[in-house]
């Protein structure tokens, strides 16, 4: 665990050292990212992350903007074990769902090259109040395999399965520690897709998020195209 912790902080130092590269990324990527942003479609206050080590860390991860995607903090870290379970609802309605009908295209995530990096991500759509006991018995809509890297990964989903998303549940099943690392860490989380408001045409969106050290005690999830779907 200390080894993973050290690698994580080394990652942060590397980010500062390559500040010029960071700026270059911003100039190249921020405009297209904002043009396809789903960020405004999320109800941040209603995000629930189980097994997070620090309260509201999962929420803070999701609230991190595209411009902040390379920042080491805030960070989401798991608590009791390596699993995280995050429910991301929509923003403008009291039903805790997306403000419009969302068609999810991909998940954006940034972790690290360490053993703390999440490896397997299960996605569920429009479920309420899932916990670790119920999610284990539920077949995911799709299973994704993540990469062990400090780059932002863009992991595509099967679009036909995510055409009417009102609430997205992300279950980080394990990490690259192979059972020897109890902490999973995520520093950025976002989503790309398109959405349709009532009476309006579909709009491209990128749903962004940031990661922090954890919230509850159950389980919860940057843009380099290194991850891929396995389910």
The beta-strand segments (E) located in the chain are 48-50, 76-77, 84-89, 101-110, 118-125, 142-145, 152-156, 167-175, 185-186, 188-196, 203-207, 228-229
How sure is the predictor about 40, in pLDDT bands with cuts at 50, 70 and 90? confident
Chain mean pLDDT for the chain: 76
User: What structural domains does the chain harbor?
Assistant: 35-197 (2.60.120.470)
**Each residue's pLDDT tens digit, 86-107:** 999 865 444 455 556 788 889 9
- Determine the distance from the C-alpha atom of residue 8 to the mean position of all C-alpha atoms in its chain, rounded to a whole number: 17
- 196 pLDDT more than 70: yes
- Write down the pLDDT at residue 204: 60
The beta-strand segments (E) located in 59-163 are 76-77, 84-89, 101-110, 118-125, 142-145, 152-156
Cα distance between residue 84 and residue 141, in whole Å: 17
SS3 state at 196: strand
For residues 175-195, give the mean pLDDT: 93
For residues 173-178, give the mean pLDDT: 96
- Write down the pLDDT at residue 128: 86
How sure is the predictor about 26, in pLDDT bands with cuts at 50, 70 and 90? very low
How sure is the predictor about 166, in pLDDT bands with cuts at 50, 70 and 90? confident
- Distances 170 to 20, 125, 189 between C-alpha atoms, Å: 33, 9, 11
Residue with tokens 């805790």: 96
**Each residue's pLDDT tens digit, 56-85:** 999 999 999 889 999 999 999 999 999 999
Max CA pair span of the chain = 53
Residues 6+ apart with CB under 8 A from 123: 107, 140, 141, 142, 143, 144, 157, 162, 168, 169, 170, 171
Q: What is the pTM of this model?
A: 0.75
């Amino acid at each position: 665990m200390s080894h993973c912790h050290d690698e994580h902080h080394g990652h942060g130092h590397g980010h500062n050292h390559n500040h010029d590269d960071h700026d270059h990324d911003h100039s190249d990527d921020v405009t297209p990212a904002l043009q396809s942003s789903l960020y405004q479609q999320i109800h941040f206050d209603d995000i629930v992350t189980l097994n997070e080590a620090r309260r509201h860390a999962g929420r803070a991860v999701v609230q991190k903007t595209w411009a902040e995607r390379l920042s080491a903090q805030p960070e989401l870290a798991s608590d009791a074990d390596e699993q995280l379970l995050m429910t991301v609802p929509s923003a403008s309605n009291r039903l805790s769902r997306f403000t419009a009908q969302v068609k999810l295209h991909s998940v954006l995530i940034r972790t690290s090259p360490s053993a703390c990096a999440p490896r397997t991500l299960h996605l569920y759509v429009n479920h309420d109040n899932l916990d670790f006991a119920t999610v284990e018995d539920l077949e995911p809509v799709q299973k994704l395999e993540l990469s062990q890297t400090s780059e932002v990964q863009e992991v595509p989903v099967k679009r036909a399965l995510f055409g009417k998303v009102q609430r997205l549940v992300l279950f980080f099943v394990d990490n690259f520690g192979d059972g020897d690392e109890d902490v999973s860490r995520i520093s950025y989380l976002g989503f790309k897709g398109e959405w349709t408001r009532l009476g309006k045409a579909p709009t491209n969106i990128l749903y962004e998020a940031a990661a922090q050290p954890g919230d509850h005690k159950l389980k919860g999830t940057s843009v380099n195209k290194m991850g891929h779907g396995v389910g």
